[in-house]
Amino acid sequence: MKNRYLLFLMLLIIAGCENSKTKTMETKTKSTPLKTGSITSSAPVNGINMYYEIHGAGEPLVLIHGGGSTLQTSFGRILPLLAQQFKVIAVELQAHGHTSDRDSPESFEQDADDVAALMKHLSINKAHFLGFSNGGNTAMRIAMRHSELVNKLVLISSFYKREGMMPGFFEGMEHATLNDMPELLKSNYLKINNDDKGLLNMFTKDRDRMVQFRDWSDDELRLIKAPTFLICGDHDVITPEHTVKMSQLIPNAQLMIVPGTHGSFIGEVCSVEEGSKIPEMTVSIINEFLHKPM
């Protein structure tokens, strides 16, 4: 039972590698090739060097990855699809992927401020935001702290209270070690940074943020004024009931519960189900939500 809890507790912090034993060690899942002209760069924001990629054209759409992940491990399957209709800005947060660290703990508030600073650096005044897992928590904080930047919000498998997680999650989190992190995410980090100490640092900061997480209030969710689309899997690490409650608290929110586990319905690298068309369906519905007039 302890090992089962350790497996599930990692689903949120490192973006949901339920099926890692059956996957290859490739960074990207199968996806539509990106068009030429994509931009990869980094910017100095709030004491870190923040990595980002820009793909496609149209309205800006910012993608925020899950904990322990990179923009590719979270969004490699759906980023090319989204870039067919939007100017996608995919970021990597503090200590993750190509982005440097600072001598301070991670927090959703700091991540939100970092993304906001990057937006200013890129001279983007307003955008849609899509956050997966811990990236959804960061996207919510952006909507609360920097509401002027947010056009529409897509929150995928995120939470705001500890009770929203599956039973045993936070108890197991206190005992998690780097050995519990799936090999796919470890290897993808090390392909970018061949630095075992950096990997351990990222894992430790992600874990500590979850261990120390304190509930957000209902009133904080009511601060989110942007049209919001919440998506959760029917066998997610976040309970569907919690996502329903969030949809009732956030004004102007819509909700979709889809078949799948944490990340499978967007093709997250560890949870991708070969041959499944559900990620394409999910993107199609997200596109419809984002294109719908406000």
Q: What is the mean pLDDT of each run of 10 residues along the chain (294 residues)?
A: 41 45 37 63 98 97 97 97 97 98 98 98 98 98 98 98 92 89 93 97 96 97 98 96 98 97 95 93 98 93
| Every domain of the chain and the residues it spans | 2-291
Integer Cα distance of 51 and 92 in angstroms: 6
In total, the chain counts a number of residues equal to 294
pLDDT score, position 90: 98
Integer Cα distance of 176 and 241 in angstroms: 26
Say if strands 48-55 and 39-45 run parallel, antiparallel, or are unpaired.
antiparallel
Helix, strand, or coil (residue 82):
helix
Integer Cα distance of 46 and 104 in angstroms: 12
Residues in Cβ contact with 186 at an 8 Å cutoff, skipping those fewer than 6 apart = 178, 199
CA-angle at 125, arms to 121 and 129, nearest 5°: 95
Strands in 48-55's sheet, in edge-to-edge order, are: 39-45, 48-55, 87-91, 60-64, 127-132, 150-156, 228-233, 253-258
CB 95 within 8 Å of CB 288 = no
278: its two tokens: 């559900």
| Terminal-to-terminal C-alpha distance of the chain | 47
Its pTM surpasses 0.85: yes
pLDDT score, position 16: 46
CATH homologous superfamily of 2-291: Alpha/Beta hydrolase fold, catalytic domain (3.40.50.1820)
Backbone angles phi, psi at 165, to 5 degrees: -90, 160
pLDDT score, position 161: 97
DSSP 246: H
